[in-house]
Amino acid sequence: MGKSICSKCEGEFKDEAGYLAHECAKTGFKPTDPAHQGKRFAKVQEAALARGKARKGSK
Amino acid sequence: MAAATVEICESNGAGEDVSHDVANLNMGSSEETELDPVANPIVPGDNSFEKWVRFHVTDIGTSSLIDNLKVWGEALAAEAALKTNARTAGYEGAQAYDTVNGPLDTDRSATYKYSQAMPTSEPASANLGIGGALAGGLDDAGYSDYLVMQIQTTVSAVAGNATTLSFQYDETA
């Protein structure tokens, strides 16, 4: 496996662990933090949870 | 409760550099992320370089499962087709990244199983697998199978094709 690159800040890391641990210079957050994805990502999360809940309810 | 955090990643080069959270999946005559399609056009009759893309859960939060991955896109204009390995039936399992050549612009659909047309509306069920199966899921951080794509054109293709790809997943709290 080659390097891991953050497309937001263009930081390069030797492995994925380094990427996940970095605080992005562009967003100010780590990639594991939902805030890294921007404000609209909360709507994506809500919709995914709603679909999961609906499927669980239908089983 | 904390929901999962996800992103789309693209792999490039024989050494497989992974670009995380890419802003676009522009395809053209160059093997690179976020390429400029005007500067790297596909010659009519040729193929784009393949895209090797994965859905990545960077943190699952307090959720227990991510599954039911779906991908679709608006149809390209005539004389150009977006081919993919994504499919709801007859899924051919996880494709292995080519660490000898990386993505190429030759038609390797028979090898990497991207013979399917990208669906133009939301599929009724999952069409991209996790762990090699459409019924697969992630209960922790991790990746989907590779979504392999290539634009294939005829000599009559015209410039300017664009489509919006949609990715969708279900999350169980």
Two structure tokens written together for B122: 């939301």
Residues of chain A contacting B66 with CB distance shorter than 8 Å: 48
Q: By CA distance, what is A48's nearest residue in B?
A: B170
Domain boundaries, chain B: 5-158
On whether the CB atoms of residues B80 and B151 are closer than 8 A, the answer is yes
The chain A residue lying nearest B97, using CA atoms, is A1
pLDDT at B160 over 90: no
pTM as predicted: 0.96
What confidence tens digit (pLDDT) does each residue in B52-107 have?
Answer: 999 999 999 999 999 999 999 998 988 999 999 999 999 999 999 999 999 999 99
Name the residue among A1, A25, A58 with its Cα closest to residue B170. A58
ipTM: 0.94
Judge: A49–B173 Cβ closer than 8 Å, yes or no: yes
pLDDT at A27 over 80: yes
Q: What is the pLDDT of residues B32-44, one digit of tens each?
A: 999 999 999 999 9
Within 8 A of A41 by CB-CB distance, chain B residues are 5
Instruction: Count A/B contacts: CB-CB distance under 8 Å.
Output: 84
Contact B5 A34 (CB under 8 A): yes
pLDDT for residue B161: 82
Per-residue pLDDT band at B3 (split at 50, 70, 90) = very high
pLDDT at B159 over 90: no
Bigger pLDDT: A56 vs B127: B127
Q: What is the mean pLDDT of chain A?
A: 94
What is the total residue count of chain A?
59
Residue where the block lists tokens 């991908």: B71
Instruction: Provide the 3-class DSSP secondary structure of residue A36.
Output: helix
* B17 neighbourhood in chain A, CB within 8 Å: 2-5
Instruction: Write out chain B residues lying below 8 Å of A6, CB-based.
Output: 20-21
Residues in chain B closer than 8 A to A36 (CB atoms)? 5, 21
Portion 63-122 of B in contact with A at CB < 8 A = 63, 65-66, 68
Measuring CA to CA, how many Å separate B90 from each of B86, B115, B142? 10, 12, 24
Q: What is the pLDDT of residue A57?
A: 80
A32 touches chain B (CB under 8 A): yes
At residue B121, the pLDDT reads 97
